[in-house]
Amino acid sequence: MVSTHQRRSPHHRGIKRTRKVKILATLGPASRDRETIAKLLKAGADAFRVNMSHGDHETHRETIANIRAVEKDLGRPVAVLCDLQGPKLRVGAFKEGKAFLRHGAHFTLDRDPTPGDDNRVCLPHPELFGILQNGQRLLIDDGKLRLVVIKPEADKILCTAEVGGTISDRKGVNVPDAIVPVPALTEKDRRDLAFAIKEGADWVGLSFVQRPEDVAEARRLMGGYGALMAKIEKPAAVESLEEIIELSDGIMVARGDLGVELLPEEVPPIQKHIIEKTRAHGKPVVVATQMLESMITSPSPTRAEVSDVANAVYDGADAVMLSAETAAGQWPVEAVTIMDRIAAKVESDSTYRERIHLAETPPDATTADALSASCATIADTLPIEGIIIFTGSGISARRVARERPAAPMLVLTPSIKTARRGALLWGAHTVLTKDIGSFEEMIAKGKRMALRHGFGTAGSRLVTLAGVPFGVPGSTNLLHVVTLSGNELASPK
């Protein structure tokens, strides 16, 4: 039986999802045009990632402009996440463009810029010389080659090829056993960050976070503009997870590099741990990388990939992300469509509610948290069709979302920034609307917006959450249960 909040009202405006988990899709050559962006939104995408590792500012500016044009056409706030490249370490170039490392052979990394060969190559990162110790690992090309340090010196590092193979120009280097003394943001990252802020990015992704100080530095440079999403892809970040979450606005489980630097079997429990901890802080958490990777070239995913997406949804993640599948793949719209279908199927499972509440999210000892928890309790106890949240900053919506209530959230805000950021928040349908000035106006507008956006019909009950005095951030102190008559749309705006 389909509940009324899963049926569209004839007065419904924009796109309304029946699922609660969000989909973040990366845009690229295969998808950044306006027509494809519209198709991705209609297929199920809620937010878009712009990868600053590829392309130039002019291309990214055009992509963001296309997103905003489609957002206006479809009447749905859309989040834009600009993902910074971060301090990626790479080897230098080779005489032949590549070389071959024999298993067990010696190989030297040095400061000599001369093109490399089968015995040596330049490592153009002086910060690594002097910090590496005997026995530490260096992982090349996403872990395809593994070197072990046997004699570190000031100008060269002698290694043994524990796992050999072909190595080519400028392949990436991961150092899982040490905290590398590199700045959180490179000069390129600083330029990209300034660009993202200027272009109105809603979220900024901070790559290769190692320490809480990395997040603090990025926040300082952002100057209060945009929301910061720390990407957890280094073992050191896992060790400082609590502090990093506190300093961030959201967290991304970036399993690509995390899976390189950790043993494969370590990643799934860490993923669950990160989701649980981030949820407890009431901040959105995104699971990313290789979710439907076979769909880069195939019109359908593997069964293992379907299970991977499903598990992230069962764990209670706010959003799941597509990378190359939508940025450069042959089937971008199909990838979003299938991810949407997987998420919807999981959320219709009779055990879903039980599973997402395995993680405890005790409220803080504040009025706002107590009322947010009460919203979820009421929605779990009564036949509630939706939770109406009036918010300026979005904090109230995040608090309610942390509880993963049974009913969907209609988030009403006068701030376009808050409306867009909410596109990555579990269960939130955000709507830009004028602020309210009285209790009576709040009730009337809440009912009208609920009918207009498909949150119930005549006789439906909803929970309303707001703060008095209205328009004051952090004043959440009012919870009210209302019943729709069906005549609210006849009222003036």
Residue with more model confidence, 216 or 11? 216
**pLDDT tens readout for residues 30-63:** 999 999 999 999 999 999 999 999 999 999 999 9
User: What are the start and end residues of each CATH 3.20.20.60 domain in the chain?
Assistant: 14-87+183-350
pLDDT of residue 359: 82
161-185 per-position pLDDT tens digit = 999 999 999 999 999 988 888 888 9
Does 361 participate in catalysis according to the annotation?
no
Check pLDDT > 70 for residue 13.
no
Catalytic residue, from 278, 289, 430, 476: name it.
289
Mean pLDDT of 133-148: 94
> CATH number of the domain at 89-174, please?
2.40.33.10
* Model confidence band, residue 10 (pLDDT cutoffs 50, 70, 90): very low
Residue 488: is its pLDDT beyond 90?
no
Delimiting residues of CATH 3.40.1380.20 domain(s) in the chain: 367-490
Contact in structure between 196 and 59 (CB atoms under 8 Å): no
| Confidence band for 186, pLDDT divided at 50, 70 and 90 | very high
Q: Which CATH architecture has domain 14-87+183-350?
A: Alpha-Beta Barrel (3.20)
193, 205, 405 from 60: Cα distances, Å: 12, 15, 37
pLDDT band at 6 (very low <50, low <70, confident <90, very high): very low
pLDDT of residue 461: 95
| pLDDT in the model for residue 492 | 55
Q: Which of 49, 421, 445, 447 is catalytic?
A: 49
Of the residues 90, 156, 277, 345, only one is catalytic, namely: 90
| Percent above pLDDT 90 for the chain | 82
Indicate where the chain has its CATH 2.40.33.10 domain(s).
89-174
Burial classification of residue 285, based on how many CB atoms lie within 10 Å of its CB (0-12 exposed, 13-18 middle, 19 or more buried): buried
Query: 49 an active-site residue?
Result: yes
**Which pair of tokens denotes residue 182?**
């590199």
Mean pLDDT highest for which of 87-91, 305-309, 352-356? 305-309
Q: How far, in whole angstroms, is CA 358 from its chain's centroid?
A: 22
Indicate if the pLDDT at residue 267 is higher than 50: yes
Token pair belonging to 9: 């009202």
Superfamily of domain 367-490, CATH level 4:
Pyruvate kinase, C-terminal domain (3.40.1380.20)
Share of the chain above pLDDT 70, in %: 96
Token couple for 266: 């370590």
For strands 137-140 and 172-174, give the pairing.
antiparallel
Label residue 289 by pLDDT band (50, 70, 90): very high
Give 433-484 pLDDT, tens digit per residue: 998 888 899 999 999 999 999 999 999 999 999 887 776 776 788 899 999 9
pLDDT tens-digit series, residues 200-256:
999 999 999 999 999 999 999 999 999 999 999 999 999 999 999 999 999 999 998
Residue 9 predicted with pLDDT over 60? no
Q: Can 448 be counted among the known catalytic residues?
A: no
Active-site entry in 16, 76, 171, 231: 231
